[in-house]
Amino acid sequence: MDTRWLDREQLAAWVRLVTVLELLPGVLDSQLRRDAQLTHFDYYVLAMLSESPERTLRMTTLARQTGATLARLSHVVQRLEARGLLERFSCPDDRRATNARLTDAGLQKVRDSAPGHVATVRQHVIDALTPQQVSQLKDITDAILSRLDPEGARAALYTRYDAG
């Protein structure tokens, strides 16, 4: 099979995307660690629970929603549980399954952390773009997600804020 090499413009776009993907997590992590003593992934786990019915999800569902392995999620949940931000308990419908529930302290942590997180997202991403570019970014990421998530297994996460 012949390799379809990237032309200069494609390579320039690709290298910029890779650089954003490398730099942005560190920026998000730094702000959350400094202001909330959370990693970005910790915050993401807490936020997913805060938006769930009864602030509760099965661990397998939470892993799927956050894109984490069960082993990674279990480690993070154990740390957050030790801080009183969430609790684990047996699923009443299936004793083999474990649920994670955001505590009142966890919900308060999300509420307290959200303004700084949003300010960082605005500063480094949203406010760097025009409204037209924000719309284009959504279209671009939709095109990429159609390849990365062709069955739409995670679509409920990234389409829930769509208008209409």
Class at the top of the CATH hierarchy for domain 23-113: mainly alpha
Other CB atoms within 10 A of residue 48 CB: 19
CA atoms within 13 A on the CB side of 100: 30
Residue type, 57: L
CB atoms within 10 A of CB 94: 10
pLDDT score for 30: 97
Provide the whole-model pTM: 0.90
Tell me which residue of 112, 106, 118 sits closest to 54, measured CA to CA: 106
Count of beta carbons in the 10 Å neighbourhood of residue 86: 27
Mean pLDDT in residue range 28-50: 97
Residues facing 89 on adjacent strands: 99
For residue 28, what pLDDT is reported? 97
- Strand 94-102 relative to strand 56-58: parallel, antiparallel, unpaired? antiparallel
Q: Encode pLDDT of 129-139 as tens digits.
A: 999 999 999 99
CA–CA distance from 63 to each of 67, 95, 109 (Å)? 6, 18, 20
Query: d(Cα 36, Cα 48) in Å, to the nearest integer?
Result: 17
Q: Is 99 in contact with 53 (CB distance < 8 Å)? A: no
Q: Dihedral (C-alpha) 123, 128, 130, 133: value to the nearest 10 degrees?
A: -110
53-78 pLDDT tens trace = 999 999 999 999 898 999 999 999 99
Helix axes 40-50, 104-124, angle to 10 degrees: 120
What's the pLDDT band for 164 if we cut at 50, 70, 90?
Answer: low
